[in-house]
Chain A
Amino acid sequence: IQLTQSPSFLSASVGDRVTITCRASQAISSYLAWFQQKPGKAPNLLIYAVSTLQNGAPSRFRGSGSGTEFTLTISSLQPEDFATYYCLQLKSSPFTFGPGTKVDI
């Protein structure tokens, strides 16, 4: 299963609403997660099962979608949110990550 993400790069300001889209080459039910990664650091699980917020993740992050199209929305971008975001499908092996979306200032 292939994943694409759009945009690949996003320039935004603090306070902006940001939306990242992840599309799968076939339906993946609810087996989708979102990760945030900052330079030099391991990825951090933000959302799993499409829309469930991981413990400790800020409520400004919201996941939605179904079938083959999914979105990650940051309602009001904060300085600590500038990072690269990846989606991951676990519907079937081999699991696959999207190519990433870099959110920059």
Chain B
Amino acid sequence: QVQLVESGGGVVQPGRSLRLSCAASGFTFSSYAMHWVRQAPGKGLEWVALISYDGRNTYYGDSVKGRFTVSRDDSKNVLFLQMNSLRAEDSAVYYCARDFFRYSGSGTYPDYWGQGTLVTVSS
């Protein structure tokens, strides 16, 4: 069955960096685009980033563009989110999610989700 397990969250000071990972199993990872979505405590969902199935295309939300980088290692079935210049408003649970359709270059519907990893940005 499809499994997505996020890791790498924790407490980090403003201005510092953090890298999140998402370990995928139960499907052909290299065939699917992948999303990152976050949710601040008590708030709604915010779409963060997408990487195409082949890694050629990446897309970002306006609030993270230029600071966050999404990447993937298909040899290890792992998705990454490199977060730089972190701000207090980046504090959230970060979810990775698989795209619905295979071989999507620009992303469609996130269907399978991990349970999330909590990032807290605080001094």
A interface list, Cβ under 8 A from B: 31, 33, 35, 37, 41-45, 48-49, 54, 84, 86, 88, 90, 93-100
Minimum C-beta distance from B2 to chain A (A): 12
A37 lies within 8 A of B95 (CB): no
B interface list, Cβ under 8 A from A: 37, 44-47, 50, 59-62, 95, 100, 106-111, 113-116
B107 lies within 8 A of A93 (CB): yes
B45 lies within 8 A of A37 (CB): yes
| A33, A49, A86, A90: the one within 8 Å of B44 (CB) | A86
User: A93 — which chain B residues lie within 8 A by C-beta?
Assistant: 50, 59-60, 106-107
A42 lies within 8 A of B107 (CB): no
User: A100 — which chain B residues lie within 8 A by C-beta?
Assistant: 44-45
User: B45 — which chain A residues lie within 8 A by C-beta?
Assistant: 35, 37, 43, 86, 88, 97, 100
User: A44 — which chain B residues lie within 8 A by C-beta?
Assistant: 113
B111 lies within 8 A of A45 (CB): yes
> Could you list some 10 contacts between A and B, CB below 8 A?
A42-B95, A42-B113, A48-B108, A48-B109, A86-B44, A88-B109, A90-B109, A95-B61, A98-B44, A100-B44
Minimum C-beta distance from A41 to chain B (A): 8
**Closest residue on chain B to residue A41 by CB atoms:** B115
